[in-house]
Amino acid sequence: MLSKAQVKYIQSLSHKKQRESEGMFIAEGPKIIHELLNEYPAGIRHIYATRDWINDQQVPGNIELTEVDSAGLERISQLKTPNKVVAIVRQFPEKSAIQVRNHFTLVLDAIQDPGNFGSIIRSADWFGITQVVCNHECADIYNPKVVQATMGSIARVRVMYTNIEDWLQKNKDVRIYGTGLQGKTVNEIGILKEGILVIGNESKGIDEKVLELVDEVITIPKKGKAESLNAAVATGIILAFVCLRE
């Protein structure tokens, strides 16, 4: 049975401040919970799920498990269409340091739309990129809409928030790429085993001061008339070219 205190606690985690002070976040839906059970079982504190989900699933004994009916699920879900299971999960431990040598690292400058942000984390995971550095103008990785859009990749990609200008300054010995409307085309770049790629804000692009630290701008040639591409789509295209093109 779901207590009033539990409902209140879960609802409180929709607010960033509360997530930060508790060090927790909410994850929802069988797919994401499945990935978290595989990749980060020690982080899951409490699972609230419908009987059919519970019957289908092995849940380690150290995780609290509460059966809820569909009305209960609706009270704790952040989704328009609640989907069987909600989990309260500990935020990931801070990554001590990002390895830039021999790695490809993604840097996000003010990616604010939760759907775009989550999609980018998912694309990074698809292309084997496991570290993403963000400035504080980016969406919160633990925002329920971001968690949802990562489709479970949140369990595998480490996201660090910092002042990206200072961070890039410290890592200038690795080649820094940025996205822009004029530069070398994605076709000309070739596979990159090492590098840092900066993705700019949805409408303003890369901040001027950050752009000064970029060694090479990569552009996606336009064949038609749209003024720009969606930021998550543009990121996916560049990652595909620099990770796959031989």
Using the contact rule CB under 8 A, the part of the chain among 6-14, 40-48, 117-125, 210-218 near a second copy is: 117-125
246 in contact with a second copy (CB under 8 A) = yes
Beta bridge partners of 184: 218
Per-residue binding letters, 150-189, with a second copy (x by CB under 8 A) = -xxx--x----------------------------xxx--
**Whether 21 contacts 79, CB under 8 Å:** no
The smaller minimum CB distance to a second copy, of residues 100 and 232, is found at 232
Choosing from 5, 42, 71, 244, the residue that interacts with a second copy (CB under 8 A) is 244
DSSP 101: T
* 125 sits near a second copy (criterion: CB under 8 A): yes
CB 149 within 8 Å of CB 118: yes
Four-point Cα dihedral 166, 215, 194, 185, nearest 10: 130
Of 132-151, binders to a second copy (CB under 8 A) are 149, 151
List of residues 6+ apart from 2 with CB closer than 8 A: 48, 66, 68, 72, 75, 76
Nearest distance, CB of residue 223 and a second copy, angstroms: 4
Q: In what order do the strands lie in the sheet with 216-219?
A: 158-161, 131-134, 104-108, 195-199, 176-185, 216-219
Indicate whether 225 belongs to the interface with a second copy (CB under 8 A).
Answer: yes
Where do contacts with a second copy occur on this chain (CB under 8 A)?
31, 115, 119, 122-130, 149, 151-153, 156, 185-187, 220-230, 232-237, 240-241, 243-246
